[in-house]
Chains A and B, each alone.
Chain A
C-alpha cells in the first residue's frame, strides 16, 4: 500500500466520521451537555460553599470557584467526547463495517485514523463551546498567549490520548452498550482529583490516590497555565501520563483490530 493512499483513505474515513457528526448533531450535543450541566451545578449550587473552602485569603467566592473548576471541566469534556468515540467504534466493530474495510485493499491505519481525527475535531468543538461558556459565566484568565498555547497543546495531547484509549475500549467492548459504559470511569475519575476540591481536604487514603492519579497533575498544569502561574514538575508528569495512556491505548487498539465479530 503506497503512501498517497494512506492519506487519501484516511481522509475518506474522516469525511465519513464528520458526516456522522453532521447527521446526528444531537449525539455530540448530549456529550457536551453533560459537562455543561456539571459546570452549572458546581458553580451555582455548590460554588458558594466550596469556594469558601478554597485556600485563598479570607476564603474564596463563587467566582473564585468557577476559575478553580474550569480546568477540571475541560478534562471532563474531553472524557465525555471520548465516550462517544468508544460508542461509534463499537458500532463499526459489531455492525461489521470494520470487517468489511478489512477485506478491502485500503491503508490499514485509515480505518482507525478516521475515528481518531474525527474525535479530535469533536473535542476541539466541544472545548471551544466550553471555553465560551465559562467566559460567559465570568471566567477570566491572567495568562498570556504562551500560557494559553501551552494549555491548548496539553488539551490536544490529552484528547489524542483519551481517543486512542476509548478506540481500544470500543473495540474490546463486544457490544455498543458496554462501549458506552466502560469510558464512564474517565468521567468519574476527575472527581477524585484536584479538579473540584483541593486534595488537602480529602481523607488520607483518598487523598493519597487523588494526588497520584493522572488527572491531578494534568488539571494542576492546565490551572497554572491558564492562571499564568508557574507549572513546576506537574507539567512533565501531565505530559508523561498523556503519552503513557495514549500509547497504551494505541497498542491495545492495534492488538484488537484483527477481531472478527461473531453473530
Chain B
C-alpha cells in the first residue's frame, strides 16, 4: 500500500491476510514461563477468542500483541506489521480495551472521548460527530457531562470500549470485556463486537466463559498454563466435551485433564511487584 491508510477501510485484498500471526511466542517473568511457545493466526475480519482461566496468560498475550510488553522469543506480526520493528504502525492500527477500565476519572465521559479523538488527530467536526454518536450508541448520553468517577462500573466499562472505537482501529483487543458486567451490558458488548466485525474489523478477545466464545468467535483457542492446548471452531471444541455441558470446568477437564483451579501456581501469590519492567526499546 502506498497511500496513507484509512483506519477501518482496509483494501479488499488485505481482508484475507492474517491480522495476527504469531509463531513460537515465549514470555517469562523470572523463572515463571507465562507463555510457552504459542502459535496463533487470526484472519482479518474474524473474531478469535482466547479462552482460559485466571493466570493462563491471556492478559500477557494481549499486552505483548498490543506493544505494551516485549516477547522473549517468537515471530510476531500484527495488522501486517512486524511487532518489534514497526510498533508505531501496529499502534496506528489497533485499539485496546484492557481487563480493567482505563478511563480518566477526573473528566466527563464526553471529555474522555474527546481526548481519544484528539489523540487520533480527528478534525473537530468529525470528532464532535463521533463523540455524540458513540455516547448515544453506548447509552451514555444522559451521563455524558458528569465526571466518570460517579459512574457505575458497567458505564465505565462501556465508555472504555467507546474510547477504543473512536480511534477507528482495524484490529481490536478486548481483555475479558464482559467479566463483572450485568447481563444487559454483556449483550451490549456482544452487539458491538458483531457490528465491528460486520465492518471488517478483526477482534481478539479473551474470556473465561465458553458461552461467550461460543456466541462471538469464529475460532477459539484454549490457553492453559501458557500453551494453546486446543483450538478450533466453537462447535469443534464443544464436540470434544462429553455431554451437553458448556461449563468451563468441564471443557477444561476434557481438554487438559485437569480443572481450572489447578492451572495457576502464581495466582495464589499476591506478593509480586505491582508493575513490570518492559525491555527498553
Which candidate, B8-16, B89-97, B239-247, is the interface stretch facing chain A? B89-97
**B96 proximity list for chain A (CB < 8 A):** 100, 103
Q: Which of B105, B147, B167, B275 contacts A261 (CB 8 A)?
A: B275
Give residues of chain A (1-57) contacting chain B, Cβ–Cβ below 8 Å. 1, 5, 8-9, 12, 16, 19-20, 23-24
Q: How far is the CB of B228 from chain A (nearest CB, A)?
A: 22
- Among listed B41-49, B111-119, B192-200, B252-260, interface-contacting one: B111-119
Binding site for A on B (CB under 8 A): 63, 66-69, 88-89, 91-92, 94-96, 98-107, 111, 115-116, 118-121, 147, 163, 167, 272-281
7 further interface pairs, Cβ-Cβ under 8 Å (given A9-B119, A100-B102, A263-B100): A20-B107, A91-B105, A97-B104, A100-B98, A102-B68, A174-B273, A260-B69
Chain A residues with CB under 8 A of B69: 260
Asked if B102 contacts A260 (CB within 8 A), the reply is no
B248 CB, min distance to chain A CBs, angstroms: 22
Q: Taking A94-B274, A175-B274 as contacts, is the C-beta distance between A12 and B101 under 8 angstroms? A: no
Which chain A residues in 51-99 approach chain B with CB under 8 Å? 91, 93-97, 99
Chain A residue at smallest Cβ distance from B102: A96
- Give which listed residue, B102, B116, B280, contacts A99 with CB less than 8 A: B102
A262 touches B (CB below 8 Å) = yes
Given contacts A174-B273, A174-B274, contact A103 B91 (CB under 8 A): yes
In Å, the complex CA distance between A194 and B273 comes to: 39
Instruction: State in angstroms the CA–CA spacing of A105 and B49 once bound together.
Output: 25
Bound-complex Cα distance A102 to B96 (A)? 10
* Interchain CB contact under 8 A, B272 and A262: yes
Q: Indicate whether A24 sits within 8 Å of B279 (C-beta atoms), given known contacts A102-B68, A103-B94, A260-B69.
A: no
CB-contact partner of B106 in A23, A93, A100, A261, under 8 A? A23
By the criterion CB–CB under 8 Å, are A260 and B275 in contact?
Answer: yes
Question: How many Å from the CB of A24 to the closest CB on chain B?
Answer: 7
B88 touches A1 (CB 8 A): yes
Q: Which residues of B contact A106 (CB under 8 A)?
A: 119
From DSSP, what is the main secondary structure of chain B's interface residues?
loop
Contact B280 A174 (CB under 8 A): no
**Cα of A24 to Cα of B107 in the assembled complex, Å:** 10
From B107, B147, B273, B278, A262 is in contact (CB under 8 Å) with: B273
In whole Å, how far is B67's beta carbon from the nearest beta carbon of chain A?
Answer: 6
Contacts of B119 in A (CB 8 A): 9, 12, 101, 104, 106
A232 to B95, CA, bound (A): 56
Residues of chain B within 8 A of A101, CB atoms compared: 119
Interfacial chain A residues near B120, Cβ < 8 Å: 104
Chain A residues near B275 (CB-CB < 8 A): 93, 174, 259-262
Contact of B68 with A103 in the complex, beta carbons under 8 Å? yes
Beta-carbon contact of B68 and A260 below 8 Å: yes
A33 to B276, CA, bound (A): 36
B280's nearest neighbour on chain A, judged by CB, is A258
Structural contact, A19 and B98, CB atoms closer than 8 A? no
Q: Are B280 and A95 in contact (CB under 8 A)?
A: no
A-B contact pairs, 6 of them (CB 8 A): A9-B119, A99-B98, A105-B88, A260-B69, A260-B275, A261-B275
- On whether the beta carbons of B277 and A259 are closer than 8 Å, the reply is yes
Q: Are A105 and B91 in contact (CB under 8 A)?
A: yes
Contacts of B95 in A (CB 8 A): 103
> Most chain-A Cβ atoms within 10 A of its Cβ — which of B95, B102, B103, B147?
B102
List which A241-263 residues lie within 8 A (CB) of chain B. 255-256, 258-263
Query: Quick one: given A103-B66, A105-B92, A258-B281, are A97 and B106 in contact (CB under 8 Å)?
Result: no
Given A8-B121, A97-B104, A102-B67: A23 and B99 within 8 A (CB)?
no
Residues of A within 8 A of B104 (CB): 16, 97
Q: A106 to B88: give the CA distance in the assembly, Å.
A: 8
Residues from chain A with a CB closer than 8 A to the CB of B68 are 99, 102-103, 260
A16 B121 Cβ-Cβ under 8 A = no
The distance from the CB of A114 to the nearest CB of chain B, in whole angstroms, is 11
CB pair B100–A262 under 8 Å, yes or no, is: no
Assembled-state Cα–Cα distance A96/B67 (Å) = 14
Picked from A8, A96, A105, A255, the residue with its CB within 8 Å of the CB of B98 is A96
Known: A16-B107, A106-B119. A258 touches B102 (CB 8 A): no
Q: Give Cα A24 to B274, complex, Å.
A: 28
Q: What residues of A have a CB within 8 angstroms of the CB of B147 in the complex?
A: 23
Q: With A and B bound together, what is the CA distance between A12 and B116 in angstroms?
A: 10
Could you tell me if A260 and B278 are in contact, using CB atoms closer than 8 angstroms?
yes
**How far is it, in angstroms, between the C-alpha of A255 and the C-alpha of B104 when the chains are bound?**
24
A256–B116 Cα distance when bound, in Å, is 23
B227 vs chain A, min Cβ distance (A): 21
A258 near B121 (CB under 8 angstroms)? no
Q: Which residues of B contact A5 (CB under 8 A)?
A: 121
Whether A104 contacts B91 by the Cβ 8 Å rule is yes
List of A residues within 8 angstroms of B100 by Cβ: 96, 263
B19 CB, min distance to chain A CBs, angstroms: 16
Q: Which residues, 174 to 205 on A, are CB-close (under 8 Å) to B?
A: 174-175
